[in-house]
Amino acid sequence: MISKTTTLVAGVAIAMTGLAAIAQEPDQDGTSEFRTFDPVAGELLNFAGSGDLAQTGGEAVYGAVCAGCHMPDGAGAQGAGVYPSLVENDLLAAPSYPIYLILEGQGAMPPLGGIMDDQQVADVVNYIRSSFGNDFNGEWGEATAEDVGETRQ
């Protein structure tokens, strides 16, 4: 896995500024590269990070990656094996466990520390800890980018 460096983070930031500008006026000034449909503003962040995730904020990060397996409503899914439900899940109470799993992966879940920066990991951890019937941020405190950085080491 590629470990995140400052240059990569800067790359994402630049890509996003450019896209934000396009997002306001898709197509009108001829700058949009889109040929087959007009994406809405949020969609322009899809695949914008080249190797990283461009989305920021817990909900957007969750929707862009985690929802694929844990499902948009956090209910998980079952086949020959299961993707665990995040709904009312006490394992999410302390931030350290979800931080660790996101960085290291486990079972079917790949490590995602290579495509998310510390803030993105902290944000998505706090999002799942305060969604899907969970309410852990008050009592247990919020995850911070620093917590994530320390877990990485």
Partner 1 sequence: MTMTRRELLGAVGMTAGSAAMYYAMASLGHAQDSTYQGRISLTGEPTNGRRVLVLGAGLAGMTAALELRDAGYDVQVLEYREKAGGRCWTLRSGDTYTDIDGVTQNVDFEDGNYINPGPWRIPYNHHGVLDYCKRLGVRLEPFIQKNHNAYLHRSDAFGGEPQRFRHVATDYRGHVAELLAKATNQGMLDAEVTEADRETLINSLRTFGHLNDDNAYVESDRTSQYRGYAREAGGGRDGAPVPSEPMDFETLLQSDLWRWLSEAETTSHQNAIFQPVGGMDMIAQAFAREVDDLITYNARVISMIQNGDTVTVQYEDRENGGDPVEMTADWCVCTIPFSILGQMDHNLPSAKAQVVDTMYYEGAIKFGLEFNRRFWEEDDSIYGGITYTDLPISLISYPSTDYFSDGKGVLLGGYVWGANAYQFNAMQPDEAVRWAVEYGSRIHPQYPEEFSSGVCVSWHKVPWTLGCYGIWQDKERDYAGVVEMGPDDRIVLAGEHLSYLPAWMEGAILSSLDAIAQLHVRATDSGAGE
Q: Which tokens go with 27? A: 């197509």
Binding span for partner 1 by CB under 8 A among 89-97, 105-113, 128-136, 139-147: 105-113
Residue 146, C-beta contacts closer than 8 angstroms, at least 6 positions apart:
118
* Contact status: 30 vs partner 1 (CB under 8 A): no
Instruction: Please tell me the total number of residues recorded for the chain in this structure.
Output: 153
Strands (DSSP E) contained in 41-131 are 77-78, 82-83
Among 112, 121, 125, 148, interactor with partner 1 by CB under 8 A? 112
> Could you tell me how many residues of this chain bind partner 1 (CB under 8 A)?
36
CB of residue 56 to partner 1, shortest distance in Å: 14
Q: Is 52 helix (H, G, I), strand (E, B) or coil?
A: coil
Binding span for partner 1 by CB under 8 A among 23-31, 102-110, 126-134, 143-151: 102-110
Sequence-separated contacts (24+) of 35-44 with Cβ below 8 Å: 44/19
* Contact status: 107 vs partner 1 (CB under 8 A): yes
Residue with tokens 């994530």: 148
**How many C-beta neighbours within 10 Å does residue 1 have?**
11
* Contact status: 133 vs partner 1 (CB under 8 A): no
Name which of 32 and 144 has its Cβ closer to partner 1.
32
Binders of partner 1 among residues 32 to 91 (CB under 8 A) are 33-37, 46-47, 49-53, 63-69, 71, 77-83
Q: Is the dihedral of CA 99, 104, 107, 109 positive or negative?
A: positive
Name which of 98 and 136 has its Cβ closer to partner 1.
98
Q: Which tokens go with 137? A: 């941020």
* Interface residue list for partner 1 (CB under 8 A): 33-37, 46-47, 49-53, 63-69, 71, 77-83, 105-112, 115
